[in-house]
Amino acid sequence: MPNRTLTLGEFLIDRPEEFEYDNAELGQLLNAIRLAGKVVSHEIRKAGLVDITGTIGSTNVQGEEQKKLDVFANEAFINTLTNRDIVCGIVSEENDEMISISGSDNRNRNKYVVVMDPLDGSSNIDVNITVGTIFGIYRRVSPVGTPVTEEDFLQPGNLQVAAGFIAYGTSTMMVYTTGNGVNGFTLNPAIGTYYLSHPNIQVPTKGNIYSVNEGGYVHFPQGVKNYIKYVQQEEEDRPYTSRYVGSMVADVWRTILLGGIYFYPPSTGKPDGKLRLLYECNPFAFLLEQAGGVATDGTQRILDIKPTDIHQRMPFFGGSKEMVEKAMTFMK
C-alpha cells in the first residue's frame, strides 16, 4: 500500500460530486455499513476459536438453513443502520418482511432504504472460504414522514443511489459505487481504517474464466449447455478456465478484477433462477456496469427489471462485456 493512501472518509470528503443528493448523508450511510462490516469481519476471524460456526437449527425465508454467523451479521447491520438514524427501512435476506424504522422523532423522516444480503456464501464459513455482505441503497418514493412501504423497495436497480459489497477473505475489503465509477478500500485491522486500494476499477472487456455451478448442468436450458460446451472447446483462445467458489461476492469480485463471466442460470428445479434480484443481482449489476461490464437475466438488462416481490429470484449473467454478449447469442 502506498505511503499516503486516502482513507474511505477522506475519499468521500474529496469527492462532493459522489452523491446526487447530500454528501453528508452518503457519508453517514457508508460509515454505518463500514462499521458493521468491521464488526462482522472481527467475528468471522475468530469463528474457529468460539462457538460461532455451524447452524442454529432454523431456516430463513429462502428455505435455507441459517448459520450462526448469518444471524449475527444480520443483527449487526440492522442495529448499526438503525442507530445512525438515516435509514427508514431495510430488506434483508434473513427477514421474511421488510423492516420499517421510525427516526429518533418517531416520524419516519429518514430518506433512504437499504437492501442487503448480510452474509453471502455463509455455507462456506465452516471451511474458511471468502464470504461477504452485499448492499444496495435507494431513495424512498413514499412521502417523507410517513411509514415506509414495499414500493420503496420495489424499484428497478437503475434507481439505486449506491451499491456495493464487503468481502471477508484474506483481507476485508469494501467496494462500492454511487454511479461515478467503482472504488475498493481495504481494511487495516490494526487501526480499523479502510484505505483506497483499488481506485477506478475497470472490468476487462474479455477474460478467459467462466464461473458457474456445473453440478446443475443437466438441469440447465439448452442454450446454457451449448455455451458451456463452447467455452470448453479447443480453439485459439479457448478452452476457458473454470472457477467457481459458491460465494457470489468471491466469484463476481474475481470476475470484476480479472475479467470473465459469472452466471447462475435458470434450471428445471429453479425456473426463475436462485439469486435474489433486490439484494444480490441489482447491486452487482450496478457495480459491473459502472466498471464497464454487463449484467443481464439472459434476455434483458438486470437494472431495468421492476421487482414484484422483495425476495424475487432472477437468473444472472454478468461480467466482461464481450463474454456476456457472446453468451446471450446462445441464449437466443
Residue ranges at the known binding site for Mg(2+): 93, 117, 119-120, 280
d(CA 21, CA 199): 23
| Feature table: binding site for substrate | 120-123, 213, 244, 274
Asked if 178 and 162 count as a contact pair (C-beta separation under 8 A), the reply is: yes
Angle at which helix 68-83 crosses helix 23-45, to 10 degrees, equals 150
Residue 139 C-alpha cell reads as: 431513495
Return the residue matching grid coordinates 435455507: 64
DSSP sequence for 75-143: HHHHHHHHHTT-EEEEEETT-SS-EE---TTSS----EEEEEEEEETGGGGGGT--EEEEEEEEE--SP
| Feature table: binding site | 93, 117, 119-123, 213, 244, 274, 280
Helices (H), the chain: 8-14, 23-45, 68-83, 222-232, 248-258, 282-290, 321-331
Q: By C-alpha distance, which of 116, 235, 136, 228 is closest to 177?
A: 136
Residue 4 C-alpha cell reads as: 499516503
- Cα-based distances in Å from 224 to 213, 233, 262, 266: 12, 14, 12, 9
Residue 209, SS3 per DSSP: strand
